Amino acid sequence: MQKIELQAEPREVLGKQTKNLRRQGITPVHIYGHGVDSLALQCDSLKLERVMAVAEENRIITLKIKNEKADRPVLTREVQRDALNGKLIHVDFYQVRMDEKVEVQVPIDLIGEAPALTEKENSLLQELHELGVECLPGNIPANIEIDISVLTEAGQAIRVKDIKLPSGVTVLTDEDTIIANIIVRAKEKVVEEEKPEAEAEGAPAAEGAAAGEKPKAEAPAKESKEKESK
């Protein structure tokens, strides 16, 4: 695995004044750890961006601090970015001990082809994208590959308990958690609009009235003849 290195130097500018550093292309960083005194540092923003692009949260970074002889192995713990332009605002590093286990999130990559996807109505759903593990810093996997070629039909799933991890790596995520499964896409329901009931073509006109004409009002009943006088 390629070694990731980053240059840093002690930082004296603190608080709101760090805005001036960012204008100069410098990003404030902070380092802390178990049994380690916290330290305010600063890094060149462009170099730090390149490191952040490959290190993520599960890669050991060799931090080289100015005027320090020994390098520091660190993990990225928190990255703050400007919500508008995405530029780095601040980065926290956690210094690790190579003989002490750490908990990290490792990305999951799906590989292979699922035979179930030959059916048009089937779809692959990845429900878990990172796996929580515990191990020594030197044993942290760069990623975890999951072969989906075992998914042959709808309803099948790959769970955390199905993963085989490297020796020395312990999974922390619940073993019954689904990583990926095959689902059946809901078929689009085509609802035909009911056509309004129309008069049947060529239907006979109402009795006693011409077709298309309103029926005439019924004539009032004739008054009964006067009763014969007694």
pLDDT tens-digit map of 64-94: 999 999 999 999 999 999 998 888 999 999 9
Q: Which two tokens stand for residue 131?
A: 């796996």
Q: What is the pLDDT of residue 225?
A: 47
More confident residue, 77 or 194: 77
Q: Cα 56 to chain center, whole Å?
A: 16
Q: What is the mean pLDDT of residues 210-214?
A: 50
Q: Is the pLDDT of residue 136 over 50?
A: yes
Please state the domain count of the chain.
2
Same domain, 76 and 152: no
Mean pLDDT in residue range 159-173: 94
* CATH number for position 20: 2.40.240.10
Residue 174: DSSP 8-state? -
Residue-number span of the structural domain to which 155 is assigned: 103-184
What is the rounded distance in angstroms from the CA atom of residue 158 to the CA atom of residue 154? 12
pTM, rounded to two decimals = 0.70
Identify the domain boundary among 96, 130, 162.
96
Pairing type for strands 122-126 and 178-184 reads: antiparallel
Q: What is the pLDDT at residue 56? A: 79
